[in-house]
Every structure is written in structure tokens, then in C-alpha cells.
């Protein structure tokens, strides 16, 4: 049972909601990555135009799911009052590194299968999503620094 004083807001319902949403997005991301891998290895001619369009669409879906998953991670920690000092910036860095490395793996897999133009298009899309993720993290980090300074004063 969580006891909240009258001066504090209770965000436990919101955190529980985003936790279940992140579980769904993790499941969808894993399914999408698996579907991409299976299609890449089992298609009779992955160099055909329709196959490449399908793989590109699945890669775009995966990048969207991973971006949403990263945003949820940042939003949930925003409402946590007591965050250990060692994990304040480290968890954000780890989540960005993990989510972006999964996206880079798609490009490497396409290069292994000698789909150069699709790898180039997927790599550009990966770079765009990485820039969006990093630029979206900066306002959160500024907010968190301001919050920690205010918390240290009290």
C-alpha cells in the first residue's frame, strides 16, 4: 500500500499504465524484429522491389515502436521522486544506446544480405530516428536537473 501525503500527487496509476504500455510496445518491437529477420531469411528473392518495400515498412514500424518505448521510459522516470544518484543519467543513456543499437542491427543485416540501397535507406531512417530520440531527451534532462536542484534545496 502506497501512502501519499496531502501535499504530494499520486502518480502510481499513471506509472502502472505506462508500465503496461511499455510491455505492449516491447512485445510489438520483438515481434517486428523477428518478423523482419524471418522475412529477410525466408523470402525467395529479397532483392525484388515488393520484398524491399515490405522490409522497409517493417523496419519503419520497428523504429516507431522503439522510439515510443524510449519516450515512455523517459516519461515514467519523470514522476519518480526518489531516483538513486548513480542512475539519473545512466539509465537514460543505456536506454538510448540499447534502442538505437537494435535499429543499427537492421542495417547491418541488410548489408550482409547485399541489399545495399535498402540498407542505405534504412540507415538514413535509423539516423533520423536517432536524432529525434536524442533531441527529445535533452528537454527531459534539463527538467530533471532543475527538479533535482529544487529537491536539494528543500
pLDDT tens by residue, 41-96: 999 999 999 999 999 999 999 999 988 887 887 777 666 666 666 555 556 666 66
Judging by beta carbons within 10 Å of its beta carbon (0-12, 13-18, 19+), is residue 75 exposed, middle or buried? middle
Residue 69 lies in a domain: yes
Residue 6 lies in a domain: no
Residue 28 lies in a domain: yes
Residue 5 lies in a domain: no
Residue 46 lies in a domain: yes
Residue 1 lies in a domain: no
Show the domain range for 129.
12-153
> What average pLDDT does the segment 143-153 reach?
72
Q: Which of 5-9, 32-36, 41-45, 74-78 has the lowest mean pLDDT?
A: 5-9
| Residue-wise pLDDT tens digits, 91-121 | 666 666 776 788 889 999 999 999 999 999 9
**Residue 61 near residue 32, CB atoms below 8 Å:** yes
Residue 126 lies in a domain: yes
- How many structural domains is the chain composed of? 1
Amino acid at each position: 500500500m502506497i501512502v501519499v501525503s496531502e501535499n504530494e500527487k499520486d502518480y502510481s496509476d499513471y506509472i502502472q499504465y505506462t508500465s503496461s504500455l511499455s510491455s505492449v510496445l516491447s512485445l510489438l518491437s520483438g515481434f517486428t524484429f523477428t518478423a523482419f529477420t524471418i522475412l529477410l531469411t525466408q523470402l525467395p528473392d529479397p532483392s525484388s522491389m515488393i520484398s524491399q518495400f515490405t522490409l522497409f515498412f517493417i523496419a519503419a514500424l520497428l523504429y516507431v515502436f522503439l522510439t515510443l518505448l524510449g519516450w515512455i521510459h523517459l516519461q515514467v522516470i519523470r514522476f519518480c521522486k526518489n531516483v538513486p544518484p548513480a542512475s539519473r543519467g545512466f539509465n537514460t543513456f543505456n536506454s538510448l544506446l540499447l534502442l538505437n543499437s537494435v535499429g543499427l542491427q537492421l542495417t547491418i543485416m541488410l548489408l550482409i544480405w547485399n541489399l545495399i540501397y535498402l540498407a542505405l535507406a534504412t540507415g538514413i531512417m535509423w539516423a533520423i530516428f536517432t536524432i529525434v530520440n536524442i533531441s527529445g531527451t535533452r528537454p527531459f534532462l534539463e527538467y530533471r536537473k532543475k527538479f533535482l536542484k529544487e529537491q536539494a534545496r528543500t
